[in-house]
Amino acid sequence: MARQQIVHHHSHPERRLIPESTIRSILWQLLNGVSYLHQNWVMHRDLKPANIMVTASGEVKIGDLGLARVFWKPLAALFNGDKVVVTIWYRAPELLLGSRHYTAAIDLWAVGCIFAELLALRPIFKGEEAKMDSKKTVPFQRNQMQKIIEILGTPTKERWPSITQLPEYPQMAPFKPYICSLETWYQQVGATNKLGYELLSGLLEFDPVKRLTAQQALEHRYFTEGPKISLNAFEGSFIEYPHRRVSSDDNDIRTSSLPGTKRSGLPDDSLQPRTKRVKAGE
């Protein structure tokens, strides 16, 4: 099943929190998968609930690598290939501000958003996406940035030194100042584990340089203290979740979630040298 079906199951018809043991297991397995990708120099670039699958035995699988790219010595800037990456609600602030040379930290921001959604049973930053114009110009996602700063506060040069170097930084001027209310949000959704709040804060860090890496997150006390993490996200739970229906579209490696994206394999097939087709008998 997709992880979003677990969230939906707990929010309809009435809201019931996902057991913390299930959240810890799903998040730990997800971070292990992301760590594996990053250790092999692969950025996923579209982590979101719909791309996280959980088997009937509670194993987490990361799917849809259609936007994934190798980021070790790329032949061209990643921005040159895909102007828009990561579905809007899970898009890191450096991407919203037009970063051309982003890092694997964008995946960890998305993981933070997924963690928050497991806790709240709804997206933490549910903004409205501004669409590209006829010239395919990437617009500044003002509403999405607004949703982020309402909870995390307004980023400052002290908090994020390199923010002034980003192309869309001047767009931040009209925003009124906000203070961080993430801890209040955390309490309001019914979460009580202080270590969980620390981990969430580290993943939803504005500055990508300061943001936790996947390996750092795995070593956080949220996982190392308390009950041992189970590789079965449903262990000890008597909740019956619906199974995901499989359709022919699930075998299509293209992504339809993002505008202006193209079919691609891994590594980036647009960067591979062309090979001459050999005719039969040659």
The DSSP bridge partners found for residue 61 are: 53
Tell me whether residue 133 is one of the annotated catalytic residues. no
DSSP letter (8 states) at residue 235: T
Catalytic residue among 46, 64, 82, 107: 46
CA dihedral sign of residues 91, 93, 99, 104 = negative
Task: Identify the three-state secondary structure at position 234.
Answer: coil
Q: What is the dihedral of CA 194, 204, 212, 161, to 10 degrees?
A: -120
- With residue 150 as reference, give the H or E element that holds it: helix 142-152
Cis peptide bond prior to 273, omega within 30° of 0: no
Q: What is the token pair recorded at 106?
A: 């964008």
Contact 221, 195 (CB under 8 A): yes
Residues tagged active-site:
46
